[in-house]
Every structure is written in structure tokens, then in C-alpha cells.
Amino acid sequence: MNDLIAGFRKFRESAYPQRAALFHKLAHTQSPEILFIACSDSRVVPELVTQTEPGGMFVIRNGGNIVPSYGPEPGGISGTVEYAVAALKVKDVVICGHSNCGAMTAIAKGHDLSEMPAVSSWLRHADAAKAVNAAHHHDSEQAKLDDLVRQNVIAQLSNLRTHPSVAVALSQKKLRLHGWVFDIESGEIAALDHQSGGFVDLMQHPDVYAQAD
């Protein structure tokens, strides 16, 4: 807690004064153009990785960067996606996985989650990724995990498209979807290419996207 309070002090004394005009504007409105869906992992900080200022992104974070398929049961993620797309009119949605994800590691290694039933239930939303991953040949456990992380991004994009607000925006060509995987150690991002179906270096292919309609 001492570190958090010290960080807040630094924010008030230096970071806030530098952005006072921005915060005054944001106090009354927001107009982010991007919905960024990432893992809750403490090593992944979307605003740091993308160097985005306050107000620039609408962010969802949860274990495994998961988006449940749309269904009759209301949920915070479904509601947040709907609000971002239908009300805020974001133009892009990014689902960002990351290297050595704890949630994907639990799936890849078949960890016993009997003492964490909520986690076990939550990870069922990655069953499609698990099935595709299991059908692939892997030369090592690390390769298996890396593939699962990518397959999960693809699976969650598929889940995302079941949301009515997303389906409508895509049909009207008002939305683009992006699938990223952030490598913690190298700081690089691999992005899903809608043309090849594979992941490419985002630095070398900045215009790549996963789906536009």
C-alpha cells in the first residue's frame, strides 16, 4: 500500500499537472476509439504497452483475455462490449493475449483447478482454443503453450462476433477487429493477419487486422 500511495503522490505532483487540461475535458466526456481486451496479468499494462493517454482506450481486463459468447445471462463483459460498440462507437477492438499466460498454462498443462471452481468454469470459454491446440503437433511444452495463447485469441475473436452490437457494426463496416499477442520478454507484438490466418510482426505490418466485416 505504501507504494500505491507514493505512486498517487507522484501522480498528483507531476503527472496530473502535466495533463490538467486533458483531465478537465475528460471530467465531462469520453470518446475512446478503441476497445482493448487484455488479460488481468500484472505484467501486462495496455496503456504502457501502447503509450495511450487517459481517454484513449476503453479497457476490459480478465483472466485469459476472454470474451464469453453472447447469451441470455447478463454479464459485465457482455455489457461493457455492448456499451463500447453501441454507445461509444469505438472503431477498433483489440483482443490481446500474452506470453506465458497463467490461464492458458493451466489449460495446456491440465492443472487441477478443483479448489478454484470459478476459475475452472471461466476457462471453459477457451474450450475451442483448447480443442484446436490439442489437434496440433507441438515440439515442446513451450510451443504448445505459445500456440494455445494464439488459438485463444482467435477463439475469443469468434466469441466476440456473436455479440449483436459487434455483428451490426461489422456489417455496417464501422468496426475492425484485431488479435494481438504481446511477448513480455521481448516487448514485441504478433498480430493476426486476416489474409494469411497467421500471426505477423506488428512493427513490420502496422496495417494488419483480424476482421473488418
What burial class does residue 74 get, using C-beta atoms within 10 Å of its C-beta: 0-12 exposed, 13-18 middle, 19+ buried? exposed
Q: Which of 9, 12, 19, 41 is catalytic?
A: 41
Identify whether the C-beta of residue 190 lies closer than 8 Å to the C-beta of residue 199.
yes
> Is 207 among the catalytic positions?
no
- Only one residue has cell 482506450, namely 57
> Is 101 among the catalytic positions?
yes
Q: Which of 39, 147, 176, 178 is catalytic?
A: 39
Q: Which of 101, 125, 150, 178 is catalytic?
A: 101
Residue 206 per-residue DSSP state:
T
> Is 96 among the catalytic positions?
no
Identify whether the C-beta of residue 56 lies closer than 8 Å to the C-beta of residue 32.
yes
Q: Which of 43, 124, 136, 205 is catalytic?
A: 43
Closest among 146, 145, 147, 202 to 179, alpha carbons compared = 202
Q: How many residues does the chain have?
A: 213
Identify whether the C-beta of residue 59 lies closer than 8 Å to the C-beta of residue 93.
no
Q: Which of 98, 125, 150, 163 is catalytic?
A: 98
The catalytic residue positions are: 39, 41, 43, 98, 101
